[in-house]
Structure 1
C-alpha cells in the first residue's frame, strides 16, 4: 500500500513541477525575446501534465505491486498511455513552433503578402500531414505491446507497401484528396486567402485541409469542396501572382454624350478616390449598338478585389450622377421616327 501512496504522491509532484515551469514561462519569459514561450504554454500544458504523470508512473511502477492479470493490464495500460502522451506532446510542440512563424506571416502586407500566404498554406498542410504520420507511427508502436498483433504492428511500421494497399483500398477518395491537396499547395496553384471564382461564386480561400477546401463567399456563406475538385475542374484565381485587380464598369449611353469630358471626369474622380492605386485607368468606346446607344467601358485598378469592387460601384454611381446632372439629353432613350 505504501508503494501506491508513493507512486500517487510522485505523480502529483511531477504535475506540480510542470505547473511551476508553466507559470515561469507565462509570467517571466513571454515577450518579444521569448516568442516561443507563449505558444508552448498555450498548446503544451495539458500534454505535459499527462506525460509527467504517466512517465512518473512508468518509472516508479514495479512488478509485484498488483496481482495476477491485473498487473499485466496495468503495465500495458501505462505503456499505451506513455506512447499516447509522447505523441500528443510532440504534435503540440511542433504546432507551437510553427505557430510562431504563422503569426508573423499573418501581418505581412504589400508585395510580400503573396509569398507569405504561400508559406502559410504549405506550413499548415505539411504539419497536418506530419501529424497524421506521427499518429500512424504511434498506433504501430502501440500494436507492438500486444503479442497477438505484433506482426501486424511490424508490418504497419516497416512495410509502406502494405499500408499503401490497405489505405488505397479502404479510402481511395480520401487518399486522392490528400494527394490533390499536396499538389495544389506545392505547385502554388492555391493559397490561403486567395480570391477565386468557383462555380460562379466569388470568395476567398478560408481553409485548406487535407481533404477539403472552405471558400468564404462574399455574402459570408461557406462553400465546401473536395480538394480534388480544384485539380480536375477549371477555376479563376484572381490573386495567383499578385493581389492587384483591374475592374471594369460598363455604360450604355446616347451618342450625344461627350466622351472626352467623361474621360476627364473619370480621371479626376479616380485621383480623389482612396481605393485607386494610382496606376491603370481608361475610358473607351467599345461598341456602337443598333438602338442608337454607345457602349462605354471604364477600367480602373485597385490593390485587391474587395477594393476593386467598391471602387467600381463608386465610379459607376459618380458617372451616372455626372451624366444625369450635366448631360441629361444623353441619357438612354427610345427613338421613334414618325413618317
Structure 2
C-alpha cells in the first residue's frame, strides 16, 4: 500500500452493525442510517442486509447515487426545492423507487406542488414535516408554523404528509440546561407537532406515520421520547444514526449511547473500525515527530487524530501505544509531541484513530476492508 492509507476492520463493522440492529429490534424501531457518512455501497449492503429499513441522504444527488447502488428506499433529510430534482423524485416514484423528503416552509411546499403539477406527476410525493431548533439548521421553529406548512401539504393533490422529523445532534448545554435536557425538550416538541397534525386529520392519506430523528449521539433518547407518540394510525419510529457502522476514537466514542459510557440496556459498546496509517517522515527535534497524514487524509473538525499503533521499520509486529499525542495537523502532516527518549524513528509506520467518520470517509475514493491481521478482504469504493 502507498501511504497514507485508511483502512476499515471487517470484524468491527460486523459487530457494530449487529449491535445497532439488536438495539432497534429490542426497542421496536426502524433504522435508516445516514449514508452520507460513508457513501460506500459495500457498507450500504451490510446495513441493509442486517435489517436497515432505508438509507438516509442529505441531497438528491446522494439519493441518486444510493439508488444506483441498489438501495430501494431513501429518506432525503432536507426540503427539495430545485425543480429538476423534484422531477427526478417524481420519475423515481413512478419507477418503483420509494423516496421521502422533508418540508419546512409553505414556499417549499408551493415549489414542489407547482413542479409536480407542471409535469403531471402520477403519484403523490410523501414528505415529512421537519421541526427545527431556534438558531439552528432547517425546520420550522414553532408548532404554529408547523401547522401552517402541514395545512399547505394537505391542500396539495401532489403531496402526502407521511410523518414528522427532526435532528437533535447540534444541541449542547445552554442556559443552565444540559445537552440531554435540551434534547428531550426538542424531541417532545416533535411529539407535540405529531399530535397536533394528527388532531387535524392531516395524516389520513398516509399508510403509516413516520416519526424520525436520531443522530449518532442521542438515539437512545429519541427512542424514549418518541415512545410517547399516541395516535390512531400505525407509527414507525425511525432513527438515522450514520456513524455507528464505523464509530470512532474521539467525540462520538465520548457521546454515543453505545460508546465510552454505555446508556443502553445491552451495555455493549460500538468498536472503532477506522484507522489511518502514515509513515514518520521527520524527527526534527527531540520532542517532535512529523507523520505523513493530514487534513487531506483524516478528519480535523472534531478532535485531533489519536495515536494508537506503531509498526517499526523492518518489523511485522504492531505495537499498541499510548502517551504520545497529536498536537497539530496540517494538510499533509500530523505533529506528534513525544518524550525526548521516545524511540519512534523515521520510516516507522503509525496508526491513528479518528474523530468524526463523515469527514474522514470523504477524503478517500477507495478504502480497504481488512481482517484482524490487516489482510485486505474487500475494497469499499466511495461515491463522493
- From the two aligned structures, give the one with the greater strand fraction: 2
Q: Higher relative contact order by CA 8 Å / sep ≥ 6: 1 or 2?
A: 2
Q: TM-score, length-normalised on structure 1?
A: 0.23
Q: TM-score, length-normalised on structure 2?
A: 0.21
- From the two aligned structures, give the one with the greater helix fraction: 1
